[in-house]
Amino acid sequence: MTTIAFIGLGNMGNPMAANLVKAGYAVHGFDLVPENLVIAREHGVVIMANAVAAVKDADAVITMLPAGKHVLSVYADIAAKAKKGALFIDSSTIDVESARKAHATAAKHGLLTIDAPVSGGTGGAAAGTLTFMAGGSKDAFAKAEPILKPMAGRIVHCGDDGAGQAAKICNNMILGISMIGVAEAFVLAEKLGLSHQALFDVASTSSGQCWSLTTYCPVPGPVPTSPANNGYKPGFAAALMLKDLKLSQEAAQSVGAATPLGAEAAQLYALFNAQGDAGADFSGIINFLRGDPA
Ligand code: NAD
């Protein structure tokens, strides 16, 4: 039986690990938070005492951690202790530079690696329908694909080391900017006396059409499943949107790309977070733009 080590059993990691157990893998898990280990055990994950113990017998190692510094620190601990020929998959959303450093750390020990961040949120993690964006060699990707399948709706090989993280932050920069654009249009429509539904009916079938409007509409009504109908409960928290926009701006700076709207979106989400809305869904930025209190 293939054994998979899963390090980082939080909101995303736990349901992802559960889907690997359901698919018949032996999953050896570790997290720093005891409550998360309790949930993982209930899903059939074998709990290990630490990350090194988790990777010892594993054919593949998946990390799902908050940020680059956590991934680099865990990789530094485990790379030398992993089984020969093991495959390392990092699904955390982290900066491209740290992702490439993580690849290099593992490569020093002869390990195959891919960066494979995801989109689809906790709902997609539970349903096994995440989109994985992978960066790494063809060999590493070929080995990773069957392991990712039970957690995935779609798996895209984006290119070499770091390409998965690059795709993730570019996509989420589009998302942050487009949500602000859609929200501004609804605020303007309100002031012009145009109903939410009328704007939606026109824009959703016109050139203003986009995911932020038709799937994740920031006003209640037109799309009943959007977080606007549920008090702006996430969904995708504003804190995570800010994290991804900051990553996009760090990356833009490091390569000299001009992303003025990405920079503005990062500023607006920083202000929205600072007024106490970091835990709200990111589409709640419409209330901030309207000038409504937190
Ligand atoms: P989370 O905070 O719920 O989980 C991260 C887990 O990592 C925590 O349980 C924490 O205890 C654990 N951890 C931290 N350092 C560790 C260490 N040294 N050893 C073992 N465990 C350690 O976060 P999450 O929502 O599961 O997100 C994980 C990653 O996925 C992040 O990079 C996030 O940006 C990305 N992501 C999240 C979502 C989402 O909707 N939540 C969507 C897409 C991508």
Statement to judge: residues 128 and 34 lie in one domain? yes
Pocket residue to mutate for ligand 1, from 7, 12, 168, 246, most atoms within 8 A of Cβ = 12
- In tens, the pLDDT along 208-250 reads 999 999 999 999 999 999 999 999 998 899 999 999 999 999 9
C-alpha 139 chain-centroid distance: 24
Indicate the residue among 139, 160, 181 that finishes a domain: 160
Q: Which of 160, 189, 205 is the last residue of a domain?
A: 160
Total length of the chain: 294
DSSP 90: E
Asked if the peptide bond before residue 128 counts as cis, ω within 30 degrees of 0, the response is: no
* CB of 115 closer than 6 angstroms to any ligand 1 atom: no
Judge whether residue 294 has pLDDT over 70. Answer: no
One domain for residues 19 and 91? yes
Ligand 1 atom closest to Cα of 9? 9
- Are 20 and 113 within one domain? yes
Which of 101, 126, 160 is the last residue before a domain boundary?
A: 160
Both 108 and 56 in one domain: the answer is yes
**What is the 292 CA–ligand 1 centroid distance (Å)?**
31
| Of 174, 182, 179, the residue nearest 200 (C-alpha) | 182
Nearest atom of ligand 1 to the alpha carbon of 121 = 40
Q: Which residues pair with 47 in a beta bridge?
A: 29
Count of domains forming the chain: 2
Question: Confidence band (pLDDT; 50, 70, 90) for 79?
Answer: very high
Q: Is 85 in the pocket of ligand 1 (CB under 6 A)?
A: no
Q: The whole model's pTM is what?
A: 0.94
Residues 94 and 237 in one domain: no
Return the sign of the alpha-carbon dihedral for residues 87, 69, 263, 275. positive
Pick the closest to residue 87 from 79, 96, 95, 99 (CA basis): 79
Look up the CATH number of the domain holding residue 128. Answer: 3.40.50.720
Same domain for 138 and 179, yes or no, is no
Task: Assess whether the C-beta atom of 12 lies below 6 angstroms from ligand 1.
Answer: yes
Can you give the residue range of the structural domain that contains 256? 166-290
Looking at the DSSP bridge assignments, the partners of residue 133 are: 156
Would the pLDDT of 293 be above 80? no
Task: Answer yes or no: is the C-beta of 37 below 6 A from any ligand 1 atom.
Answer: no
| Pair 112, 143: CB distance under 8 Å | yes
Decide: 36 in ligand 1 pocket, CB within 6 A. yes
The closest residue, in CA terms, to atom 25 on ligand 1 is 11
Nearest CA to ligand 1 atom 1: 10
| 183 shares a domain with 126 | no
Residues labelled as active-site residues:
168
**197 and 235 together in one domain:** yes
Q: Is there a single domain that holds both residue 156 and residue 171?
A: no
Q: How far, in Å, from the CA of 80 to the mean position of ligand 1?
A: 23
180 and 149 within one domain: no
The finding on whether 122 has its CB within 6 A of some atom of ligand 1 is yes
- In terms of domains, do 149 and 175 share one? no
Tell me the pLDDT tens digit for each residue of 99-150: 999 999 999 999 999 999 999 888 899 999 999 999 999 999 999 999 999 9
CATH at residue 272:
1.10.1040.10
Give me the phi and psi of 15, to 5 degrees please: -65, -30
Report the Cα 186 to chain-centroid distance in Å.
27
Ligand 1 centroid to Cα of residue 194, in Å, is 41
